[in-house]
Amino acid sequence: MRLDPKKTELDLGYLGKESQISTYWNLATPQLIEQSILNQEGNLSITGALIVKTGRYTGRSPNDKFIVDHKQAADMEIDWGIVNKPISPAKFDRLLDKILTHIQQQTTYTMDLHVGAHPSHQRRVRVISEYAWSALFAHDLLIPSQERFITPPDFTVIQTPSFKAIPQEDGTNSEAFVLLDFKKRIILIGCTEYAGEIKKAIFTIMNRILPDEGVLPMHCSANIGMEGDTALFFGLSGTGKTTLSSDPDRFLIGDDEHGWTNNGVFNFEGGCYAKTINLSSDLEPVIWEASQRFGSVLENVIYDEESRKIDFNNGILTENTRAAYPIEFVSKREKNSRGGHPNHIFFLSADAFGVLPPISQLSPEQAAYFFLSGYTAKLAGTERDLGIEPQATFSTCFGAPFMPLNPVRYANMLRNKIKEHKSRVWLVNTGWTGGPYGIGSRIKLPYTRHMISAAIKGILEEAPSIVDPFFKLTIPTIIPGVPAKILYPVGNWEDKKRYQHFAENLKTEFRKNILKYKGSVEESILNQL
């Protein structure tokens, strides 16, 4: 006998147009998985995780993201440009009307959720999607509500993968779109099945509203030690935020999005979204175990259709394979998803040129410089049309695509908090050593773990060090468990002159990038290199 939960009538009149849909509302995890399988959205793995494919879009589509410009005072605070592209209220409203009409004819799944583990800064979010698995994704990644919202939520997300925009008519760049209206508190996502767009759109919303509440929003993971010491890990996708914060010896606060208040840090989310390409039970046991469980969602992984065994090493669909799972699947976690003021802050960069040292300590001014720079390498598959080769990039605040305000505002808030709470800041290269991508080798994860552990334990404070002549970085020369050869990058290159060439080129790129903040930040910060 086929199980089919009852649909519920949901009045969407609060969105500005008389509209009512019949929807599956706040289904439990087993029900959402049953619906996904019945709808042929995915299959179960041998261990019970739900396997889905996201079609053409296997990563974010940054060129298709727009923010509504109402031409009001609040909109003047938006850092308009390539990242934060404007769209008119009229075009947004026209698309909203189309989508509300569209979803009345579709099967939809609605989840009422929360974002923000701090009660004073929490928001209610409603996610409406055409796919049961997308609803499960939202349920895994955000904080589930115990009951349906009686009054309108703070924000509403509508994801309609089957709806295609008409660029000439709708003002979009393509058939796909991610539209954010901060005034109406509505997010529209169309023509993409990639669920990460839901997560990052909500993150963008929080990054807009929290600074006005004195809270620094951060694209970082966080964990806490037995002694109550808190550590933050900043970095873009693929640099190791989730991996390094999921430390078996520490308690996970969250893997991607946090706020820093006057009382400490808190997680925005209720789950994790980990990259799974080349996932290993030996190197990443926490992620491995969580990703296998019933209730987890595996995106674009390759599996044997008969045995349902996962091949995490196969990236034929994308290098951006993902696992979404609730944080409750991590046995060693901070139960209230909150921590104190950070004792240590790690900036993670996957340096494709093999120039930056594996770890170095930063002064507050250097911290502001590297935070504004946000240097890393975009890795294959994290965005559309990136190609197979990594690309060096500067992403302000280690999360420019999700930061709608002037980045200097975030940087000043971070610098002030670092000084006030005397946080130690470290630059960590999780990328290449001994040469650039294609010649050198990726720094081994156990080495990075040893370095971070040594920093947290205070071992590096007493370690001998040297100052790098190119980037003026303070580099420890001895770290237990790490070959001394890799600590000073030039020493690990066979061709020293070629290293110097790459280092000078990267230094030039840093200088060119930081000049866009001239006049906005202190000269002492601009002149770090």
pLDDT tens, residue by residue, 295-329: 999 999 999 999 999 999 999 999 999 999 999 99
- 86: Cβ–Cβ under 8 A, 6 or more apart, which residues? 66, 67, 68, 69, 80
Parse the chain into domains and list their residue ranges: 8-40+61-193, 216-270+336-526, 274-329
Quick check: do 8-40+61-193 and 216-270+336-526 share a fold?
no
Quote the pTM value.
0.93
Rounded CA gap, 512 and 407, in Å?
17
Q: What pLDDT is recorded for position 390?
A: 58
User: What is residue 383's predicted lDDT score, i.e. its pLDDT?
Assistant: 46
Cβ neighbourhood burial of 147 (10 Å; 0-12, 13-18, 19+): exposed
Q: Residues in the chain with pLDDT < 50?
A: 1, 380-383, 385-386
Query: 3.40.640.10, 3.30.460.20, 2.170.8.10, 3.40.30.10: which CATH number matches 274-329?
Result: 2.170.8.10
Class of the 216-270+336-526 domain?
A: alpha beta
- Amino acid occupying residue 493: W
pLDDT of residue 393: 84
- Provide the 3-class DSSP secondary structure of residue 324: strand
In CATH, the architecture of 8-40+61-193 is 3-Layer(aba) Sandwich (3.40)
pLDDT of residue 360: 97
CA dist., res. 366 & res. 13, Å (int): 50
At residue 386, the pLDDT reads: 46
The answer to whether residues 234 and 241 touch, using CB atoms and an 8 Å cutoff, is yes
**Exposed / middle / buried, residue 323 (Cβ in 10 Å: 0-12, 13-18, 19+):** buried
Catalytic residue positions, numbered: 60, 200, 219, 237, 241-242, 256, 322
488-527 b/e with 16+ CB inside 10 Å = b?
ebeebbeeeeebeebbeebeebbeebbeebeeebeeebbe
Token digits of residue 452: 């971070």
Q: What's the pLDDT at 35?
A: 97
C-alpha closest to that of 351 among 446, 240, 230, 482: 240
CA angle 299, 205, 27 (to 5 degrees): 50
